[in-house]
Amino acid sequence: MKQAHEAPKRHKLIEYANGPSLEEINGTVPVPTGKGFWRTLFAYSGPGALVAVGYMDPGNWSTSITGGQNFQYLLMSIILISSLIAMLLQNMAAKLGIVSQMDLAQAIRARTSKSLGIILWLMTEFAIMATDIAEVIGAAIALYLLFHIPLVVAVFVTVFDVLLLLLLTKIGFRKIEAIVVCLIMVILLVFVYQVALSDPDWGAVIQGLVPNAATISTHPTVNGMSPLSGALGIIGATVMPHNLYLHSAISQTRKVDHSDPDAVATAVRFTQWDSNIQLTFAFVVNALLLIMGVAVFKSGAVKDPSFFGLFHALSNTSMLSNGVLIAVAKSGVLSALFAIALLASGQNSTITGTLTGQVIMEGFIHMRMPLWARRLVTRLISVVPVLICVWLTRNLPAVDEHEALNTLMNNSQVFLAFALPFSMLPLLMLTDSAAEMGARFRNSGWVRGCGWVAVIGLTFLNLLNLPAAFANFVSPALAPEAHVAAYIAIALILALLGWCMYDLTQHNRRLTALAQEAD
């Protein structure tokens, strides 16, 4: 595989691409050899932060806070389990990129038929656009809350984050990583401050980390949510397919001597350290969000779990749990910090979402666009449903407008249920294969076992939730038809998964046979 080199000058908006993943930044970050643990870890730190952004984006916020409001600390264990699964899958994705020198999209496309590759590309594009809808809504609402910009104008303003991408493409990947880390720290510090003021019951928090049968019970139902539906919401908002594609690409930004297996092993080790540390921060943020739902607000006080409702709740002294919070809330600091964290989260997701879009476009269909053009197209498509939603509710009471936007954001995430199995399953099969990874780097027995449990479990839960997700798109009278459509979709997903498994298995057999002939 050729090493990264200086990218040629480009003269076309759309070009053919079949080289290294994210060629402009591939192998551009030098790493030390033979140095101490901490210096080496620092050199490899950064890609994990870009991945962790996807685990604390605006789509996670309402599910975690609402789960805390409705069931206290019961769902803490779900956040923990989701984070551990995320660490497992992201470690596989990083290892795939470093060892094979291909990102996940490239690896899938090279080992499956062209027609299946195009189908998987389209599904993943829809998933990225669905994620982008949540980012548009979060950023627009943050601008509205902070600067009182009308929502329609704020939605259009989010399009101009393409200018941020133009700037970032000029400053180097290492500086992009630093900016993302700074934004993550802003989000973390905001929620640490708010939770510290609330003085939660830390004993109950720790107890909530222990899984029990009540977390997947269908009773009781609180505000239309059962523990099971709350758990599914948290899981669905946590593990996202685009993060696996992204990590397999940006793990290749470090300059590694691939002719030396020990150097490759070192890169895998420190990249996984980076990933686990950053995802631990993501777990803390999501845990803090749930704790906010329990300790910052009075139990059952938050009737509107939208970003609007949470913002106003943080300035409504009658809804807060103690005198310290009430005193700070009177100054408007709590609500302002919440909006700032929301805006930081949206900008972080802008960076990672655009990089991921480029990865899947180059990997699946061998097309390349400049990052700014890619972002502009995706964002313009994503703002359309948001603008329609704002326009249709313009003459309704504010609470109806807020509810409509919140519903749009939640419903958009249904596309993630389609795309997630088609990133997890190939990732697991590829990294399980000795023919693909070599005996040294294939998954160990315990990783393989945990991986299959995670993939099968997450796929089952995503498909289990599809009928309810489809029903949310239509009126109650059309719920039976929506359920039928959901079951047809489930059948199609399972058929496509079977097709994907067949292609990957056949390719693995061919590689194994070739290796045996060579021996």
Q: What is the 3-state secondary structure (H, E, C) of 300-336?
A: CCCCCCCHHHHHHHCCCHHHECCHHHHHHHCCCHHHH
Least-confidence region, from 52-61, 117-126, 287-296? 52-61
135-151 exposure pattern, b = at least 16 Cβ within 10 A, e = fewer? bbbbbbbbbbbbeebeb
- State the pLDDT confidence band at 324, using cuts at 50, 70 and 90: confident
Residue 341, pLDDT > 60, answer yes
Give the range with max mean pLDDT: 161-170, 313-322, 368-377: 313-322
Residue 6, pLDDT > 70, answer no
- State the pLDDT confidence band at 1, using cuts at 50, 70 and 90: very low
Q: Judge whether 124 and 241 are in contact, CB under 8 Å.
A: yes
- State the pLDDT confidence band at 166, using cuts at 50, 70 and 90: low
Higher pLDDT, 337 or 464: 337
Q: Judge whether 139 and 161 are in contact, CB under 8 Å.
A: yes
Can you give the pLDDT at residue 165?
62
- State the pLDDT confidence band at 170, using cuts at 50, 70 and 90: confident
Average of per-residue pLDDT values in the chain: 85
Least-confidence region, from 16-30, 118-132, 306-320, 463-477? 463-477
Residue 418, pLDDT > 80, answer no
Q: For 434-490, what is each residue's pLDDT tens digit?
A: 989 988 999 999 999 999 999 998 888 878 878 877 887 777 788 888 889 989 999
Can you give the pLDDT at residue 11?
53
- Give me the percent of the chain exceeding a pLDDT of 90: 33
Can you give the pLDDT at residue 519?
65
Which residues on neighbouring strands pair with residue 222, listed in sequence order? 225
**Rounded mean pLDDT, 330-354:** 84
Helices and strands per DSSP (H, E), number in the chain:
22, 2
Q: What is the pTM of this model?
A: 0.88
CA-to-CA distance for 108 and 275, rounded, in angstroms?
A: 22
Residue 199, pLDDT > 60, answer yes
Tell me, what DSSP letter sits at residue 216? G
Residue 382, pLDDT > 50, answer yes
Q: For 245-269, what is each residue's pLDDT tens digit?
A: 999 999 999 999 999 999 999 999 9
Residue 129, pLDDT > 50, answer yes
- Determine the longest span between alpha carbons in the chain, in angstroms: 75
What torsion do the CA atoms of 72, 76, 79, 85 make, to the nearest 10 degrees?
A: -150
**Rounded mean pLDDT, 384-399:** 82
If we measure between CA atoms, which residue out of 16, 245, 3 comes closest to residue 101?
Answer: 3
Higher pLDDT, 283 or 411: 283
Residue 370, pLDDT > 50, answer yes
Fold adopted by 29-418:
Hydantoin permease (1.10.4160)
Can you give the pLDDT at residue 2?
43
Can you give the pLDDT at residue 116?
92
**Rounded mean pLDDT, 307-314:** 86
- State the pLDDT confidence band at 7, using cuts at 50, 70 and 90: very low
**Rounded mean pLDDT, 329-356:** 84
Can you give the pLDDT at residue 452?
95
Domain range annotation of the chain: 29-418
Can you give the pLDDT at residue 207?
93
Nearby residues of 294 by Cβ (< 8 Å), 6 or more positions away: 68, 69, 72, 73, 200
- State the pLDDT confidence band at 218, using cuts at 50, 70 and 90: confident
Q: For 66-116, what is each residue's pLDDT tens digit?
A: 888 888 899 999 999 999 999 999 999 999 999 999 999 999 999 999 899
Question: Encoding tokens for residue 96?
Answer: 């795939």
Higher pLDDT, 224 or 194: 194
Can you give the pLDDT at residue 247?
94
Residue 513, pLDDT > 70, answer yes
Residue 271, pLDDT > 80, answer yes
